[in-house]
Structure 1
Amino acid sequence: MTDRLPPIPADKMTEAQKKSVADIVSGPRGRVVGPFNVMLRSPEFMDRAQKLGEYLRFRCVLGEKLKELVILVTARNWSQQFEFTAHGPIAIKAGLDPKIVEAIADGRRPDRMDDDETLVHDFCTEMFRRGMSVSDSTYERALARFGEQGVVEMVGVSGYYTMLAMLMNVARTALPEGATPPLTPYPG
């Protein structure tokens, strides 16, 4: 498949696009890749979206490992290869067992998750399977463990990465050179 919205060469960028790139490069991301190449077609949209993403990715109350688990479950739900390729190694570095990452990539429920990982995985999986909602019991478990802010940010992270997944799926964002697609087709 051809990347529908590939990176824009610097000499073809508008001033607004150049400013957006400079803002991202000077922030914690340090570079423009994947969904930001897509969003660059609308610099104001990209600026606003990346500020939300910066908070959710770098300051989320869930902690690095659980936040990355949310991202991986979201990427798997949307079959988003780039997102999973980018965040699988980050999740492992944050302490998520590589076998958990592999199971999610294969569309399986991981074995041997700790209590928090199980709760986050179940919450996100249920949210996608129940029309973007969760049962009262799942909500109450998440609320008791993570509080209102944690629940809101868990949904926020998933929502933000859902938006990125949709953008990249429509744009057919290419994987980095030499990368192998990590996601297998869903079983069945």
Structure 2
Amino acid sequence: MRPNRSASATPPFPEFGLSERLGPPATFDAEQQAAADELTNGPRQGVYGPFRPLLHRPSLLQAVAKVGETLRYAGMLDAALREWAICVVSRELSNVFEWDMHLPLAEAAGVPPAALAAVERGVPLPTDLHADLVLAHAIAGELIHQHRLSDETYAAALRTWGEAVTVELLTLVGYFVMVCWLMNVARTPGP
């Protein structure tokens, strides 16, 4: 069982401890059951997180799940960069589920604890943080707060990763923004 890291986060998560208000349907129709079975038999091995509210729209659940699986299990980003970006997005959007789910994955992938602590507290990043993590943090921040990238940030991404990886990172940020917003509204509990 993972520790519930969001319980002691500073600043706190707004939805932490609140009752879920949009969970899965009380009973599943055939399409919902098929979607749930597909998740349970796939790499996620269960129906949790954003897929709880998405069970109300099984075809949408399946499409969202496929994008997430591609990004997490068949992507080009190395694990540290991927998990770091997910943590940055989840903290920027104050999402309990994704923070608690991906924080230990980021730690296991080698993201420095001091960098994760800085993201949690919303303070400047450590000055010795690897440049690709600093750049990914800037990209997520610009996308979330300005809804676009500056020319300088875009050029740095292309120099650092090339077009394909840059597209994947942009998609990863957008995907996790979407699922975080859904879960924030649904008040989906942490893992």
* TM score, norm. by length of structure 1: 0.87
State the superposition RMSD in angstroms: 1.3
Q: Where does residue 20 of structure 2 map in the other structure?
A: 3
Given that 1:62 and 1:146 are in contact with CA atoms closer than 8 Å, whether structure 2 keeps it comes out as no
For 1:127, give the aligned amino acid.
Answer: L
| 1:22-171 matched pairs, under 5 angstroms | 22-111=37-126, 112-130=128-146, 132-171=147-186
What CA deviation, in whole Å up to 9, does each residue of 1:77-119 have, x standing for no partner?
2111111111101111111112211211111232031111111
Output the CA distance in 2 between the equivalents of 1:103 and 1:7: 34
> Percent same amino acid at aligned positions?
35
Given that 2:90 and 2:96 are in contact with CA atoms closer than 8 Å, whether structure 1 keeps it comes out as yes
Output the CA distance in 1 between the equivalents of 2:39 and 2:124: 35
Q: Where does residue 4 of structure 2 map in the other structure?
A: none
Q: How many residues align?
A: 173
Instruction: Report the Cα offset of residue 2 of structure 1.
Output: 1.9
Q: Which runs of no fewer than 5 residues in structure 2 stay unpaired?
A: 1-17
For 2:129, give the aligned amino acid.
Answer: M
Q: Which runs of no fewer than 5 residues in structure 1 stay unpaired?
A: 177-188
Instruction: Report the Cα offset of residue 175 of structure 1.
Output: 2.4
Output the CA distance in 1 between the equivalents of 2:92 and 2:153: 19
Instruction: Report the Cα offset of residue 125 of structure 1.
Output: 1.5
Instruction: Report the Cα offset of residue 128 of structure 1.
Output: 2.0
| 1:167-186 matched pairs, under 5 angstroms | 167-176=182-191
